Structure 1
Amino acid sequence: MDQTFEKRKKVILDFISDDMYVPMKIKEIAIVLQIPREQRDDLKEVLDVLVEEGKISLSKRGKYSKGQAVRLKGVFQANARGFGFVTPEDGAEDVFIPEENISGAFQGDQVEYIITAAPSGRRREGKIVRILSHSVVHIVGLYEKSKNFGFVRPDNQRYLKDIYIPAGKEKGAMNGHKVVVELTSYGGENMKPEGTVVEIIGHINDPGTDILSVVMDAGIPTEFSEKVLNQAVRVSKEVSEADRAGRKDLRDWLMVTIDGEDAKDLDDAVSLQTIDGNYVLGVHIADVTNYVQENSALDREAFERGTSVYLADRVIPMLPHKLSNGICSLNAGEDRLALSCIMTFDQAGEMIDHEIAETVIHVDKRMSYNGVAKILEDNTEETGTDQEIVSMLLSMKKLSDILRERRGRRGSIDFDFPETKVILDENGKPVDIRPYERNDATKIIEDFMLMANETVAEEYYWRELPFIYRTHEVPDEDKIRKLSTFINNFGYHIHVRNEVRPKEIQKLLDKVDGTPEEALISRLTLRSMKQARYTTENTGHFGLAAKYYTHFTSPIRRYPDLQIHRIIKENLRGRLNEDRISHYEEILSRVAAQCSDRERRAEEAEREVVKMKKAEYMRSHIGEEYDGVISGVTKWGVYVELANTVEGLVHVADMRDDHYEFAEQTYELVGEHSGKTYKLGQTVRVRVADADKLQRTVNFEIVS
């Protein structure tokens, strides 16, 4: 192999193109051609070039074949640093696309690509060879005017180029306006995309414009049509005698709602009685389907939205407020229609009976999580709450503990990350960021809702009727093995037999509880899991270690819950004939896919708003010092998390006291001269160096 590179290419190409050649891995090619071990890197370089030129192909298994490289399809995801990834349509791991191989692709494009390299143990690399279609039509960004034209700087950093706006296409936008642009051209390698301003959101400094920009960039609708609003008014009638007919009357049952202080859409109430030594738990869910008829304007709009979206300064509801905060909300002191799951447990928490029924209820008291937690903590009557309710809450705590303990025994995984609570002033400026911790009251509601969801799912699975389940698949073996290799550095181990069991994951979380590496290992473990989704097949819920699971308890804010309520009610009324069963079999796959997609869209918008407000908050604290804990260590620096949940990066370039190298085995940064180390879980004092609201990043520097 001491010929020139081009001659080596010809030798290899002739060999692979021979009619007798069969697909081989690089090691096999080297053996057949008698290439010494020390020259195999040269062989790999030649093969990579031939693949990139499309003269040979490389399979997923690392085998080289004659003929054109196989063209694969996927969706392109750009990165702000210039490179990108393609998510293959077959669900395989993302393929890295170097900047020089993007070929003018735009964020979200459906593309054809070829594999150019498949390094052992690393992500495959590829090249985009054809753009099939564009999925992005509208982009949100900041308008800036030049003399004879304008341009828009996209908010989303994945859009790598500014959008050119020809004169007359700006719709009156001025410098500083946040706008929505409709693309008329996607540009190319050396040409900017072009577009027309179709909506002015507001000035960048106007209260709420920033959050509304995130919402509109995600494509989330914020207004209801007049037709939908009018329909909501027409159906929002008080509960009548005709509505109550044929329903189980539970208005004399003691029941409460327990929600956040600022909640307005109260879709679940709970009751608990002790009868013959058994617990009789009632989970009563607003009967939204009574007001949202299938295929009505309200229903079509709810299907399109899929879910309510909860942001720092607003809720974008799935249903108009006239319904979600009105007749569908289980307001205390008013008759309401419900779908109830009534479950009887013995003292050990074993369910011995259950009933699912259409009911009419009357909530006695609206309660808050913090108020209930205080009652449970103080066990006192001095809270202004009736003693009968206090007694019921104390019994609820006992049952909740029993159910939680049983769930833990079967292996349910409990990722107890503190959520972030963002406090805004009247102008939408963040004035405080703090962790929103779970308390005993939130755990009670969580345990009872989980139990109702499992009970409904199991009953309808065995009825063999069309249904929507909430499923969570077993993690990929490769991801778990990578996690196992990582945690071995800290002395932990996961038993992976034929497949990992949820109990093994929970054992790991129990072991790291309270340790310096807890946050990192918990996050990496969570990232090793698959994403839960809605499906028509019941494949179980790995994270909950549940054989049967659905979403039944939130029809005001989640469309899948609303959909299965219809099926349940038709079954209770004996109306699920062959035609209706066929109808549901036909539509439910589409409903499940739509709801999964809309859930992801909402979650991403919610995350982006929190990250943006964290950066904005820290922007007003530049120069201030905080104690934090190192939550991540990488070759480019350490991530430090503050007590208020804000996480920021200390870049190695800003660690000026020494030159630091990343020790991969121990996940430490080590000073070359001083030997000083920064490791996971270490407490450090940091100063806020910078914060970028647009990029949603925070930068710290370590205080010596």
Structure 2
Amino acid sequence: MKKNELYEQRKKIVYNIIQDDVYQPLKLKEFSYLLQVPPRDREQLKQILDELVAEGKISITKKGKYTKLEKGLVRGIFESNARGFGFVTVEGEEEDYFIPENAVGDAMYHDVVLMQVVVPYAEPGKRKEGKVIKVLERGITQVVGTFQKSRNFGFVVPDNQRFEKDIFLSKSESKNLSEGHKVVVKIIDYGGDGKNPEGKVLEVLGHANDPRVDVLSVIKAYDVPLEFPQEVMQQVKRVNDEVLEREKAGRMDIRGWQTVTIDGEDAKDLDDAITLTRQDGGYQLGVHIADVSHYVTEGSALDQEALKRGTSIYLIDRVIPMLPHKLSNGICSLNAGVDRLALSCIMDIDAKGRIIGHKIAETVVRVDERMSYTSVAKILEEQDPEEIKRYENLVPMFQLMKELSDILRQHRHERGSIDFDFPESKLILDEDGRPLEIYPYDRNCATKIIEDFMLAANETIAEDFFWQELPFVYRTHESPDPDKIQKLAVFIQNFGYFLKNSSKDHIHPKEIQKLLNKIEGTEEEALISRLALRSMKQARYTTTNIGHFGLSAKYYCHFTSPIRRYPDLQIHRIIKENLHGNLQKKRVKHYEQILPKVAEISSKTERRAEEMEREVVKMKKVEYMEQHLGEIFVGVISGITTWGIYVELPNTIEGMIRVADMIDDYYNYDERSYSMVGEMTGRTFELGMRVAVRVKETNRMLRTIDFELYDEDMEE
């Protein structure tokens, strides 16, 4: 038996003994006598007991005795709120516990805590409630913030608003710092009883106003590495710049097929290429994905670093890649005019968009042209004569792509796939990283073509491996919580809309789709769309296939982006082993053991990347509006609450008019009509209403933009 297996076995025995009804609390020495543990193993016993305490499975008294948890005590993750209260999320429970301000104790953001359950079940209009008993593990060990100097010491004000307390720096730690410096500090004492946490400076990033320090601060706050470890770069050095002839042996050679990549103008990691022909009254679609797993071998330093990163992170002024550039922009990128190794999913699709057959193969490809979304859209939407002439030999394939894309999209629509079509923000920065321009970036026909083809490949691969009953990583999206759907149904009734079967445990995605169709073009579209999205659960990676609610798909995975997503890379290995007949019992067991952790890490790193990307966009929007203080804009009311009116400008920037600043009347929020009404004048503000606003104030630290009403006649 391996050492770690023996350790886990002993840990299980220890836990079961403590859970026994006849067990009485014992100190370490007493417990070791009970188990007849020899002196040489007592250190391991202590490690086991302390580990069980840290995991929140047993408890330790003030007198150092190990005992079972009191009834009603559970382990969870604490999330703080700026207003003093918080929430605890418990694994396996869908709804979190509310923690009142007087029950928070010394818990801080993301701490692992032991919580006493006060209200175990949510009642109508209320939620489950708990009280923090003990902090088991600190969630944050280092913080990024802005330095503020006092005479004999300093403070760091955390950028993360959920970490509520300023961090004290001693005189010696503060001596070389200036007011406004952005720093990374390690927390050496978490304080408590009115005392602030204390920190030690690990790194000075620069002054808060220095170019690009703002984005760097976000990167450091999330503890994302910018450089690759030396052993990773050593491994990369050994990778060839070109595909060797021996590497092409045994692969399906499709270099003669007309092949293109279609990506954004700035993209350098081109991991998917497309071929398409008309065939037997239908279509043959080839989705060819860079064979990254050929270069990133399982268990290597490169593989371990890729799993740790989980995904490439696309910030406004930089990309933090999952793989080093020599791979992501070089040998793994399907660059035009050169031979590349790929893993291909070649699908036969009938005239109604049904996939009636497919083949998965290791291939050698040679891309004919590196196309951009803009260029393909010019050909298909604008009928641009210059663009058509430049790519005249490819135009028939692009027209066929548009034809098939429309069919596939209609097929998905008929089964109930939900399409939340929110415009993304496009930000243009100057050479110092300051925002020059912000505007909405809508999907065009070319982006939809690639989206439709990638979805088809992902569904095909997932269904294939589901029916083979092999270990796999699926991309799943659970049905929404019935309570949230019920709340959405009640809300939309105020606008005359209804959700069928919203009171039952299950709702079909087609009902959400129908709602989005009904509200399209209405004043309340933005608000209801956002609320519908918030009522959905987050998609994640799992080893069990439970389908994808949003796509109304029974089978779905991520296969198409192994350069920038680890789950795709992982399943490429499984697919290739299966193609070669190597997925025997031993390898199946291996994957069954490692895939749950891969899925968990990949889901977490994906959330981290999304949070970082959102935070940087929000930060740059605030910085952009700093340049427009006092200026007047016309926007649309996108939300109304008791504390203010949210207004979204045509460039996607959203700010708030605070009720306290609406001085022409005393305004009340009407919950029934979701409007703001003046007591004396009866002046009413409603969702979707156009209003003129003046930019009053911005706050980079809080990431907020404040508007005030501008009552002159609005210009069209």
| TM norm structure 1 | 0.89
How much identity, in percent, do the aligned residues show?
60
Contact 1:340 1:359 in 2 (8 A): yes
Counterpart CA distance in 1 for 2:98 and 2:445 is: 45
2:440 paired with 1:430? no
1:473 counterpart residue number: 478
1:653 counterpart residue number: 660
Counterpart CA distance in 2 for 1:522 and 1:687 is: 27
Query: How far is the alpha carbon of 1:190 from its aligned partner?
Result: 0.3
Gaps of 5+ in 1: 1-67
Q: Which moved more, 1:591-600 or 1:207-216?
A: 207-216
Q: SS at 2:386's partner residue?
A: coil
Counterpart CA distance in 2 for 1:233 and 1:320 is: 10
Contact 2:288 2:343 in 1 (8 A): yes
Contact 1:269 1:363 in 2 (8 A): yes
Counterpart CA distance in 2 for 1:642 and 1:692 is: 18
Counterpart CA distance in 1 for 2:96 and 2:679 is: 35
Q: Which amino acid aligns with 1:477?
A: P
2:640 paired with 1:633? yes
2:202 counterpart residue number: 198
Contact 1:622 1:690 in 2 (8 A): yes
Query: How far is the alpha carbon of 1:277 from its aligned partner?
Result: 2.9
2:181 paired with 1:174? no
Query: How far is the alpha carbon of 1:412 from its aligned partner?
Result: 0.2
Q: Which amino acid aligns with 1:111?
A: V
Q: Which moved more, 1:455-464 or 1:91-100?
A: 91-100
2:465 paired with 1:463? no
Counterpart CA distance in 2 for 1:100 and 1:620 is: 42
Contact 2:307 2:566 in 1 (8 A): yes
Counterpart CA distance in 2 for 1:615 and 1:498 is: 41
2:687 counterpart residue number: 680
2:567 paired with 1:554? no
Cα pair distance change 1:268/1:386, threshold 3 Å: same
Q: SS at 1:360's partner residue?
A: strand
Q: Which moved more, 1:346-355 or 1:282-291?
A: 346-355
Q: SS at 1:136's partner residue?
A: coil
2:451 counterpart residue number: 446
Post-superposition Cα deviations, 1:123-179, rounded to whole Å, max 9, x if no partner, equal 344432322221211100112333332221111111111111123335944332211
Q: Which amino acid aligns with 1:249?
A: D
Query: How far is the alpha carbon of 1:81 from its aligned partner?
Result: 2.9
2:587 to 580, 588, 600: 580
Q: Which moved more, 1:196-205 or 1:318-327?
A: 196-205
Contact 1:302 1:559 in 2 (8 A): yes
Query: How far is the alpha carbon of 1:694 from its aligned partner?
Result: 1.3
2:232 paired with 1:228? yes
1:251 to 247, 255, 258: 255
2:88 to 69, 86, 89: 86
Query: How far is the alpha carbon of 1:589 from its aligned partner?
Result: 0.2
Counterpart CA distance in 1 for 2:383 and 2:165 is: 61
Aligned positions of 1:356-395 closer than 5 A = 356-379=360-383, 381-383=385-387, 384-395=389-400
Q: Which amino acid aligns with 1:429?
A: R
1:210 counterpart residue number: 214
2:573 paired with 1:571? no
Aligned positions of 1:192-341 closer than 5 A = 192-341=196-345
Q: Which amino acid aligns with 1:372?
A: V
Segments ≥4 residues shifted beyond 6 Å: none
Q: SS at 2:238's partner residue?
A: helix
Q: Which amino acid aligns with 2:446?
A: A
Query: How far is the alpha carbon of 1:377 from its aligned partner?
Result: 1.6
Counterpart CA distance in 2 for 1:599 and 1:357 is: 28
Query: How far is the alpha carbon of 1:237 from its aligned partner?
Result: 3.4
2:358 paired with 1:351? no
1:103 to 102, 105, 128: 105
Query: How far is the alpha carbon of 1:119 from its aligned partner?
Result: 5.9
2:420 paired with 1:415? yes
Query: How far is the alpha carbon of 1:683 from its aligned partner?
Result: 0.8
Q: Which moved more, 1:597-606 or 1:106-115?
A: 106-115
Query: How far is the alpha carbon of 1:101 from its aligned partner?
Result: 2.6
Aligned positions of 1:576-615 closer than 5 A = 576-615=583-622
Post-superposition Cα deviations, 1:31-73, rounded to whole Å, max 9, x if no partner, equal xxxxxxxxxxxxxxxxxxxxxxxxxxxxxxxxxxxxx883333
Contact 1:381 1:387 in 2 (8 A): no
1:668 counterpart residue number: 675
Counterpart CA distance in 2 for 1:236 and 1:481 is: 57
Counterpart CA distance in 2 for 1:141 and 1:380 is: 50
Q: Which moved more, 1:191-200 or 1:170-179?
A: 170-179
Q: Which moved more, 1:559-568 or 1:199-208?
A: 199-208
Q: SS at 1:643's partner residue?
A: coil
Q: SS at 2:538's partner residue?
A: coil
Q: Which amino acid aligns with 2:334?
A: L
Gaps of 5+ in 2: 1-69, 712-716
Query: How far is the alpha carbon of 1:559 from its aligned partner?
Result: 0.1
Counterpart CA distance in 1 for 2:175 and 2:352 is: 67
Q: SS at 2:206's partner residue?
A: strand
Counterpart CA distance in 2 for 1:323 and 1:674 is: 65
Counterpart CA distance in 1 for 2:127 and 2:237 is: 54
Query: How far is the alpha carbon of 1:423 from its aligned partner?
Result: 1.1
2:706 to 681, 699, 703: 699
Query: How far is the alpha carbon of 1:533 from its aligned partner?
Result: 0.2
Counterpart CA distance in 2 for 1:651 and 1:296 is: 55
1:491 counterpart residue number: 496
| TM norm structure 2 | 0.87
Contact 2:111 2:140 in 1 (8 A): yes
Query: How far is the alpha carbon of 1:666 from its aligned partner?
Result: 1.0
Query: How far is the alpha carbon of 1:458 from its aligned partner?
Result: 0.4
Counterpart CA distance in 2 for 1:514 and 1:616 is: 31
Query: How far is the alpha carbon of 1:577 from its aligned partner?
Result: 1.2
Counterpart CA distance in 2 for 1:91 and 1:173 is: 45
Aligned positions of 1:60-79 closer than 5 A = 70-79=72-81
Query: How far is the alpha carbon of 1:420 from its aligned partner?
Result: 1.0
Contact 1:270 1:282 in 2 (8 A): yes
Contact 2:149 2:174 in 1 (8 A): no
Query: How far is the alpha carbon of 1:553 from its aligned partner?
Result: 0.1
Contact 1:236 1:291 in 2 (8 A): no
Contact 2:478 2:549 in 1 (8 A): yes
Post-superposition Cα deviations, 1:304-357, rounded to whole Å, max 9, x if no partner, equal 000000001000000001110010001001100000110111222222221010
1:8 counterpart residue number: none
Contact 1:106 1:186 in 2 (8 A): no
Counterpart CA distance in 2 for 1:643 and 1:95 is: 38
Contact 1:479 1:528 in 2 (8 A): yes
Contact 1:236 1:322 in 2 (8 A): no
Counterpart CA distance in 2 for 1:448 and 1:654 is: 50
Query: How far is the alpha carbon of 1:98 from its aligned partner?
Result: 3.0
Cα pair distance change 1:380/1:648, threshold 3 Å: closer
Q: Which moved more, 1:396-405 or 1:93-102?
A: 93-102
Q: SS at 1:563's partner residue?
A: helix
Counterpart CA distance in 2 for 1:189 and 1:131 is: 14
Query: How far is the alpha carbon of 1:498 from its aligned partner?
Result: 4.4
Q: SS at 1:387's partner residue?
A: coil
In the alignment of these two chains, the number of paired residues is: 638
Q: Which amino acid aligns with 1:517?
A: E
Q: Which amino acid aligns with 2:171?
A: A
2:44 counterpart residue number: none
Q: Which amino acid aligns with 1:76?
A: F
Contact 1:170 1:196 in 2 (8 A): no
Q: SS at 1:509's partner residue?
A: helix
Q: SS at 1:604's partner residue?
A: helix
Cα pair distance change 1:101/1:582, threshold 3 Å: same
